[in-house]
Amino acid sequence: MAALGIFAQVKALRRFTVRAALPAPLAPLSELVMNLRWAWHTETTDLFAAVDPQLWQTVAGDPVRLLGEVSAERLDALARDGAFIAQLNAVHADLQGYLSEPRWYQSMAGVPGSIAYFSPEFGITEVLPQYSGGLGILAGDHLKAASDLGVPILGVGLLYHAGYFTQSLSPDGWQEEHYPSLDPNGLPLALLRNPDGTPLEISVGLPDGQTLGAQIWQAQVGRVPLLLMDADIESNDPSIRAITDRLYGGGAEHRLRQELLLGIGGVRAVRAYCHLTGAVEPEVYHTNEGHAGFQGLERIRELVAGAGLSFDDALQAVRAGTVFTTHTPVPAGIDRFPRTLIEHTFGGDNASPGVPVDRILALGAEDDPGVFNMAHMGLRLGQRANGVSKLHGHVSREMFSALWPGFGSVDVPISSVTNGVHAPSWVAREITELLGVGPQSTWEIVGELPADRLWAIRRELRGRLVDEVRRRVHHSMVHRGHTEAELGWVQNVFDPDVLTIGFARRVPSYKRLTMMLRDPARLRAMLTDPERPIQIVIAGKSHPADEGGKHLIQQMVQFADDPAVRNRIVFLPDYDIGMAQFLYAGCDVWLNNPLRPLEACGTSGMKSALNGGLNLSIRDGWWDEMYDGGNGWAIPTADGIADPDRRDDLEAAAFYDLVEQHVRARFYDRGADGVPKSWIDMVRHTLKSLGPLVQATRMVRDYVEELYTPAGAAAGRLAASSYEGARELAGWYGRIRAGWDSVRVAHVDASGTGDTPQLGASMHLRAEVVLGPLSPSDVTVQACYGRVDATEELHDVTCVEMSHTGDGDEFTIFDGDVPLQRAGAFGYTVRVLPRHELLSSSAEPGLVVLAS
Ligand SMILES: *Cc1c(COP(=O)(O)O)cnc(C)c1O
């Protein structure tokens, strides 16, 4: 045994995973393991469990490990087990059907042939830990829903050798970070190889003569391939091999190098993949947040080098096919680099011919001249942009309105598509079975479900969460230095019949992890109430560089360590997809108390709702648009209050009031049969009202219809006849920009209202417009009207297009009618905007002239 002791001190130089050779009848197993559809398909995981039920527990649901560790004898026995082979073949046939059947997208006309989807993180399963939080989970759900709908998406990301980090707690409750070394061969990934068997590699030039090479791992997410680039290859310098070490680690230069690989390398990986497999080249490029923004520069470079376009022509061609999604209104969440770093990276010996560094710098320009802003570049490189909830769309239009000077924020061309979640991944099996698998009828039947059945399932899911909480608390307490003898109390942590509130998410300050601790005595009283207690489960990782976040975690942990409450409130370390599934299924109430409006959407509450959990949340993000008064509770926001302490006090007090007076009352108000009828009514209403709205299939359909299809059409028109459209549009832009200074509204006449304008009448406007070198077809002239305030500012503005009715020597005449639909102070003006049929909106060029 001494020898083992010594080996335990020695770290392996490299680790690798040996996979068992499967007997022929079991061959379909490897495709089932390698296709991540198992992450949302219980029949497939049932099959994995049947391979070796004991081992399946040990490997914690990781099928690659299962196949790596299952004994050869067991495999031989299975190969001779007729029932197992029949189950295997049925599940395999089901996968083949899923991969090949026409689905929703195949019934759509005029849709793009392929869409590339870039994201710095993808959360698909806990077995592939390549995510830190909501952005990555959303990207994973996007791919899964695209697969279910048959949308031909190609995912593009990076493979991080340590993922994000795993979290544990020190004895005094401080977050500890661990960076596991993941072996890609032990993950459900396949290395892309050339026909001669060598790894397919791409490379990206770096300044100072260095080159960043990468190999490409493919994950298969149902029908959707996901390419993950990996810089850890022999031919790279050691410092370059470390570029894909971990997610969101390192300083600005490290991050920039990751983003160069993601954006520029990503486009090269897409080209190499399509060349290798014959897959259709993407027509649309969707970037999930700004991190992948350099993809646009690479596509411009390709067009300049390959199709002989000028930078301006190529810019138009690229913009038309690009969709940019912004995900955060938090300034610290926006990705920015020192301008000098960008200059150094894209200039000098690393400059690309035809892609001048000053043009690149202009794409990322912001208020601060020393800063390059990736979100601004995303908006300038994408003809279409969106936020991720209605409220966030609104906030984004205001936040980025400086890019469209002269426009009101309503005109800023940023739309919104509200996020959704992939139900098959997040809904507990019992709920799915209860609701049936039929796609249409599901939510309609909710009203007829017997209350006692629904309640019995909710209790079962809560009970399962309680077991998981105890297991995890025990594990964490042992890690924090407690001995078995001290941990008897853990058996009594949580109670399967107590109202259970969940709060789990990343720990940036705006999410206010510790708001519930504002009045600790009041919280303690609710936790220990002898009649109607609550219990709270909390989880979340703080970014390793965020000391403030770690202090919040410590505060929470120390509160929960108190023997007086430790059986009713727990902090579970290492929040991930695996833990999340227990939480969403088992919690009765999902709490969210961000500082409005900083939560762009939020998705955990959607996952809770689909399991019959009730949301208790500040009206921010998705909850602002989907709360209907009866499908949960809204914590009133004090967002007008400038003093943050007072605001927290007010909002925390509102939270305590709601729990004490409404939530507990409903939960503990039982009929003779022990069922809380009015609670179950609210659960039913939640499922029915939110079920159809919060799903990722709804979100992906919205993206297809509102963004991908128009982007694909625009890109196609600009690319046709060797990019004739792109040249024409770029030429038009040049002409408009050069002539715009001479445009003005010389005079506006109003008539038709008499001395006392009457409600319901209409007013006729005639505008004399100076167009200088531009022609009437280059512009749209609009009459804009609305309520007017004491400062002559217009509100609730509506704009109607005026018609070109005459040409004078100096002026062009435009006429239009304005309806007087509202009594009271009314104002109007006239404005001129550029017009071109290939623009997504007249605001797009950011040029406007107002009558003055
Ligand atoms: C859904 C989810 C998130 C995102 O939750 P938000 O409510 O958007 O903060 C983060 N992490 C995991 C593991 C999730 O499942």
Q: If DSSP codes are grouped into helix, strand and coil, which group holds residue 463?
A: helix
Ligand 1 pocket, residue 505 CB under 6 Å: yes
Q: Output the CA torsion sign for 14, 15, 18, 19.
A: negative
94: alpha, beta or left, given left = phi > 0 and alpha = psi -120 to 50?
Answer: alpha
pLDDT tens figures, 75-104: 999 999 999 999 999 999 999 999 999 999
The pair of three-digit structure tokens given for residue 58, joined into one six-digit string: 């040990």
* pLDDT for the residue 403: 95
Which residue, judged by its Cα, is nearest atom 1 of ligand 1?
Answer: 604
Show the domains of the chain with their CATH numbers. 24-100 (no CATH), 104-416 (3.40.50.2000), 450-692 (3.40.50.2000), 743-850 (2.60.40)
* pLDDT for the residue 639: 86
User: Does residue 18 surpass a pLDDT of 80?
Assistant: no
Q: How much of the chain is in helix, strand and coil states, percent to nearest 5? A: 45, 20, 35
Q: Kindly give the pairing relationship between strand 779-788 and strand 826-834.
A: antiparallel
Helices (H), 451-507: 451-479
- Please, which residues have CB within 8 angstroms of residue 36's CB and are 6 or more apart in sequence? 124, 125, 128, 188, 219, 220, 221, 222
Q: Where are the beta strands (DSSP E) in 619-721?
A: 632-635
Q: How far apart are CA 392 and CA 399, in angstroms?
A: 10
Q: How far apart are CA 541 and CA 537, in angstroms?
A: 14
- Please, which residues have CB within 8 angstroms of residue 745's CB and are 6 or more apart in sequence? 767, 768, 769, 770, 830, 831, 832, 849, 850, 851, 852
User: Does residue 802 surpass a pLDDT of 70?
Assistant: yes
pLDDT tens figures, 759-795: 888 899 999 999 999 999 999 999 999 988 888 888 8
Helices (H), 101-162: 134-149
Put the strands of the sheet holding 534-539 in their side by side order. 569-572, 534-539, 499-504, 589-592, 614-618, 632-635
Q: What's the gap between Cα 477 and its chain centre? A: 33
Which residue, judged by its Cα, is nearest atom 3 of ligand 1?
Answer: 134
Q: How confident is the model at residue 442 (pLDDT cuts 50, 70, 90)?
A: confident
Ligand 1 pocket, residue 133 CB under 6 Å: yes
The pair of three-digit structure tokens given for residue 662, joined into one six-digit string: 């409404």
Q: If DSSP codes are grouped into helix, strand and coil, which group holds residue 310?
A: coil
Distance 540 CA to ligand 1 centre (A): 9
Mean per-residue pLDDT, 615-644: 95
pLDDT tens figures, 579-612: 999 999 999 999 999 999 999 999 999 999 999 9
674 CB-side CA count, 13 A = 7
Contact assessment for residue 283 and residue 245, using Cβ atoms and an 8 Å cutoff: no
Contact assessment for residue 583 and residue 502, using Cβ atoms and an 8 Å cutoff: yes
> Residue 116 has what DSSP assignment?
E
Q: How far apart are CA 339 and CA 361, in angstroms?
A: 7
Residue position matching structure tokens 């770029």: 730
Q: How far apart are CA 845 and CA 319, in angstroms?
A: 12
191 CB-side CA count, 13 A = 19
Q: How confident is the model at residue 808 (pLDDT cuts 50, 70, 90)?
A: confident
Ligand 1 pocket, residue 604 CB under 6 Å: yes
Q: Which residues pair with 221 in a beta bridge?
A: 224
Backbone angles phi, psi at 599, to 5 degrees: -85, 105
pLDDT tens figures, 156-208: 999 999 999 999 999 999 999 999 999 999 999 999 999 999 999 999 999 99
The pair of three-digit structure tokens given for residue 287, joined into one six-digit string: 């970037």
Contact assessment for residue 561 and residue 584, using Cβ atoms and an 8 Å cutoff: no
Distance 600 CA to ligand 1 centre (A): 12
Backbone angles phi, psi at 510, to 5 degrees: -65, -20
Mean per-residue pLDDT, 635-649: 93
Ligand 1 pocket, residue 137 CB under 6 Å: yes
Distance 673 CA to ligand 1 centre (A): 36
User: Does residue 731 surpass a pLDDT of 70?
Assistant: yes
* pLDDT for the residue 125: 98
Residue 112: CB atoms within 10 Å: 24
Q: If DSSP codes are grouped into helix, strand and coil, which group holds residue 178?
A: strand
Amino acid at 743: V
Whether the bond into 597 is cis, omega within 30 of 0: yes
pLDDT tens figures, 201-235: 999 999 999 999 999 999 999 999 999 999 999 99
108 CB-side CA count, 13 A = 16
Question: Shortest CA distance to 589 belongs to which of 662, 647, 519?
Answer: 662
Mean pLDDT of the chain: 95
The pair of three-digit structure tokens given for residue 351, joined into one six-digit string: 């400059």
Mean per-residue pLDDT, 530-558: 97
The pair of three-digit structure tokens given for residue 615, joined into one six-digit string: 């949301």
Mean per-residue pLDDT, 682-711: 97
Backbone angles phi, psi at 404, to 5 degrees: -125, 70
Q: How confident is the model at residue 337 (pLDDT cuts 50, 70, 90)?
A: very high
User: Does residue 5 surpass a pLDDT of 50?
Assistant: no
* pLDDT for the residue 1: 39
pLDDT tens figures, 343-402: 999 999 999 999 999 999 999 999 999 999 999 999 999 999 999 999 999 999 999 999
Mean per-residue pLDDT, 314-337: 94
Element (H, E) at 202: strand 201-205
Question: Shortest CA distance to 545 belongs to which of 121, 245, 247, 238?
Answer: 247
The pair of three-digit structure tokens given for residue 299, joined into one six-digit string: 């596509």
Backbone angles phi, psi at 728, to 5 degrees: -65, -45
- Please, which residues have CB within 8 angstroms of residue 726's CB and are 6 or more apart in sequence? 309, 313, 314, 316, 317, 320, 718, 719
Distance 237 CA to ligand 1 centre (A): 36
Q: How far apart are CA 343 and CA 284, in angstroms?
A: 28
Percent of the chain with pLDDT over 70: 97
Ligand 1 pocket, residue 392 CB under 6 Å: no
Distance 691 CA to ligand 1 centre (A): 18
Long-range contacts of 526-532 (CB under 8 A, 24+ apart): 526/656, 526/659, 526/660, 526/664, 527/565, 527/568, 527/569, 528/564, 528/565, 528/568, 529/664, 531/668, 532/499, 532/664, 532/667, 532/668
User: Does residue 59 surpass a pLDDT of 80?
Assistant: yes
The pair of three-digit structure tokens given for residue 827, joined into one six-digit string: 């104002």
Of the residues 601, 603, 611, which should be mutated to test ligand 1's pocket, given the most ligand atoms within 8 Å of the CB? 603
Question: Shortest CA distance to 767 belongs to which of 826, 821, 832?
Answer: 832
Q: How confident is the model at residue 444 (pLDDT cuts 50, 70, 90)?
A: confident
Q: How confident is the model at residue 12 (pLDDT cuts 50, 70, 90)?
A: low
Contact assessment for residue 206 and residue 257, using Cβ atoms and an 8 Å cutoff: yes
Q: How confident is the model at residue 560 (pLDDT cuts 50, 70, 90)?
A: very high
> Residue 431 has what DSSP assignment?
H
Q: How far apart are CA 223 and CA 148, in angstroms?
A: 8
* pLDDT for the residue 445: 85
Ligand 1 atom nearest to CA at 579: 13
Q: If DSSP codes are grouped into helix, strand and coil, which group holds residue 384?
A: strand
User: Does residue 634 surpass a pLDDT of 90?
Assistant: yes
Distance 602 CA to ligand 1 centre (A): 7
Of the residues 505, 506, 507, which should be mutated to test ligand 1's pocket, given the most ligand atoms within 8 Å of the CB? 505
Distance 616 CA to ligand 1 centre (A): 16
* pLDDT for the residue 761: 85
User: Which one has a higher pLDDT value, 726 or 824?
Assistant: 726
Determine the length of the chain.
852
Contact assessment for residue 23 and residue 76, using Cβ atoms and an 8 Å cutoff: yes
Distance 6 CA to ligand 1 centre (A): 41
Residue 798: CB atoms within 10 Å: 14
Mean per-residue pLDDT, 124-142: 97
Contact assessment for residue 302 and residue 719, using Cβ atoms and an 8 Å cutoff: no
- Please, which residues have CB within 8 angstroms of residue 41's CB and are 6 or more apart in sequence? 424
Element (H, E) at 424: helix 423-426
Radius of gyration of the chain (CA): 29
Mean per-residue pLDDT, 274-294: 97
Ligand 1 atom nearest to CA at 505: 9
Helices (H), 480-546: 520-528
Ligand 1 atom nearest to CA at 134: 4
- Please, which residues have CB within 8 angstroms of residue 386's CB and are 6 or more apart in sequence? 323, 324, 325, 326, 393, 414, 415, 416, 417, 707
Mean per-residue pLDDT, 116-121: 98
Element (H, E) at 259: helix 252-260
365 CB-side CA count, 13 A = 10
* pLDDT for the residue 441: 58
* pLDDT for the residue 653: 97
* pLDDT for the residue 6: 46
User: Which one has a higher pLDDT value, 436 or 394?
Assistant: 394
Q: How confident is the model at residue 34 (pLDDT cuts 50, 70, 90)?
A: very high
- Considering only 48-62, 441-455, 618-632, 832-846, which range has the smallest mean pLDDT? 441-455
DSSP string, 55-92: HHHHTTT-HHHHHHHS-HHHHHHHHT-HHHHHHHHHHH
- Please, which residues have CB within 8 angstroms of residue 443's CB and are 6 or more apart in sequence? 435, 687, 688, 691, 692
* pLDDT for the residue 479: 98
Cα–Cα distances in Å, from 448 out to 106, 235, 248, 352, 434? 34, 64, 47, 64, 11
pTM of the model: 0.96
pLDDT tens figures, 474-483: 999 999 999 9
Ligand 1 pocket, residue 154 CB under 6 Å: no
